[in-house]
């Protein structure tokens, strides 16, 4: 059965409740000792004695040997997780922002204090991509990891593209269902998948990247002209993060909408589902598919981590320890569909070349190649213009 886990749980929202629902249906050797919450006045289904608003009551309890962190606040989560690791408690977290920002030091804390931090639920909900990158692909040469990492934005795109719903109504429905964050820009702006792909890249390539250095442009400026363009090409629009090896020294990582064709696995990934494509030298291309949003899918990933801790499982970070010397390179060039409103904006963007252009009173676009670095430098003026950028997936020039 493995060792007994006495659990202190932080957060009892959608994922916390989902985790509890799953755990009570299993006869495993662990027990929820205390649950930390923010609002003690909120009606709950469990006994009041199980809850506390004092985090130290959990962190200082010598009987509690495992901490589950499921709160929204990244900085508060960081304080909880680091204190727990330093006190010799193992931790499971689903906080992608906190992990992406602090991963390098969190790895060091685990080494120093002999503890384990697991976070399968932080990337792609129910899809076990972190464990696979750690174990199955530990000695593989990976060319790229890409896919749909955000169920909320994919749900919105599915409703808009397939059912002709308005963007605003699809967003509201995603929030009502608990898929989208309270602040929707975290999802539709590509921040959430940026944190997730940064975590995945650490396990795939052993590279710890500051998320601030990764381009993220989302679907917040999507309009009907963009949908029409994709339909005419027989394509769909998906929000796709990618981490790919460019050469022996560099990796490219970015998040952009992408025009995907029918022969792409992502074409048929709809609603709150996620899909992860791994392109490897020996295993070739493999595809993982599953729910990426919702309490039970993410709760299932957290539950899997808890189960692993019963047998003292920990990530080995093999590729990071190999010290491959890889670094992020934003000089990778890609071909994009670039729809804009102001002709002045186009003068500000340094395209390497333009292969197609269209101009009318209400609709203007170009198709051309530019670098990720150029998109990072001009991101603010692009978004302020209401412009929409999507990778075509056709051409790529590293430098």
* Among 252, 225, 259, residue whose Cα is nearest residue 335: 259
CA–centroid distance for 203 within its chain: 14
* Among 146, 131, 303, 95, residue whose Cα is nearest residue 203: 131
Cα 91 to Cα 38, 40, 165: the distances in Å are: 20, 24, 41
Token pair recorded at residue 373: 């670095």
H helices within 140-251, ranges in order? 151-163, 167-176, 185-188, 191-205, 224-232
**Cα 59–Cα 60–Cα 65 angle in degrees, nearest 5:** 65
Structural contact between residues 337 and 229, judged by C-beta atoms closer than 8 angstroms: yes
**Cα 153–Cα 220–Cα 296 angle in degrees, nearest 5:** 20
Q: How far apart are CA 170 and CA 188, in angstroms?
A: 12
CA–centroid distance for 290 within its chain: 14
User: Phi-psi category of 312—alpha, beta or left, where left has phi over 0 and alpha has psi -120 to 50?
Assistant: left
* Among 257, 256, 255, 262, residue whose Cα is nearest residue 233: 262
Q: Report, as residue numbers or ranges, the catalytic residues.
A: 196
Structural contact between residues 308 and 120, judged by C-beta atoms closer than 8 angstroms: no
Token pair recorded at residue 111: 């080494």
SS (H, E, C) 22-88: HHCCCCCCEEEEEEECCCCCCCCCCCHHHEECCHHHHHCCCCCCEEEECCCCHHHHHHHHHHHHHCC
């Amino acid at each position: 059965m493995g060792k007994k886990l006495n659990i202190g749980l932080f957060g009892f929202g959608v994922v916390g409740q989902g985790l509890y629902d799953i755990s009570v249906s299993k006869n495993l050797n662990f027990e929820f000792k205390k649950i930390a919450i923010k609002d003690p006045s909120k009606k709950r289904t469990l006994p009041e004695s199980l809850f506390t608003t004092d985090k130290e009551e959990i962190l200082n309890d010598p009987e509690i040997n495992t901490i589950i962190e499921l709160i929204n606040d990244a900085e508060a989560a960081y304080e909880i997780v680091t204190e727990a690791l330093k006190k010799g408690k193992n931790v499971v977290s689903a906080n992608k922002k906190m992990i992406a920002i602090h991963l390098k030091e969190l790895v060091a804390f685990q080494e120093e204090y002999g503890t384990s931090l697991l976070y399968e639920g932080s990337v792609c909900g129910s899809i076990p991509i972190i464990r696979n990158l750690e174990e199955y692909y530990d000695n593989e040469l990976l060319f790229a990891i890409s896919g749909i990492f955000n169920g909320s934005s994919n749900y919105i795109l599915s409703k808009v593209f397939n059912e002709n719903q308005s963007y605003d109504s699809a967003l509201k429905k995603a929030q009502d269902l608990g898929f989208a964050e309270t602040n929707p820009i975290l999802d539709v702006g590509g921040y959430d998948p940026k944190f997730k792909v940064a975590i995945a890249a650490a396990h795939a390539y052993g590279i710890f990247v500051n998320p601030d250095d990764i381009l993220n442009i989302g679907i917040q400026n999507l309009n009907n002209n963009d949908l029409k363009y994709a339909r005419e090409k027989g394509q769909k629009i998906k929000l796709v993060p990618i981490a790919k090896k460019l050469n022996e020294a560099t990796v490219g990582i970015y998040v952009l909408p992408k025009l995907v064709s029918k022969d792409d696995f992502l074409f048929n990934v709809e609603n709150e589902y996620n899909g992860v494509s791994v392109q490897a030298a020996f295993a070739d291309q493999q595809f993982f598919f599953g729910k990426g949003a919702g309490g039970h899918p993410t709760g299932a990933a957290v539950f899997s981590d808890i189960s692993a801790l019963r047998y003292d499982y920990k990530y080995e970070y093999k590729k990071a320890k190999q010290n491959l010397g890889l670094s992020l390179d934003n000089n990778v060039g890609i071909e994009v569909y670039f729809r804009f409103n102001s002709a002045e904006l186009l003068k500000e963007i340094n395209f390497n070349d333009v292969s197609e252009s269209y101009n009318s009173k209400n609709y203007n676009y170009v198709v051309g190649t530019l670098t990720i670095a150029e998109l990072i430098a001009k991101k603010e003026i692009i978004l302020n213009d209401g412009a929409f950028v999507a990778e075509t997936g056709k051409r790529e020039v590293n430098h």
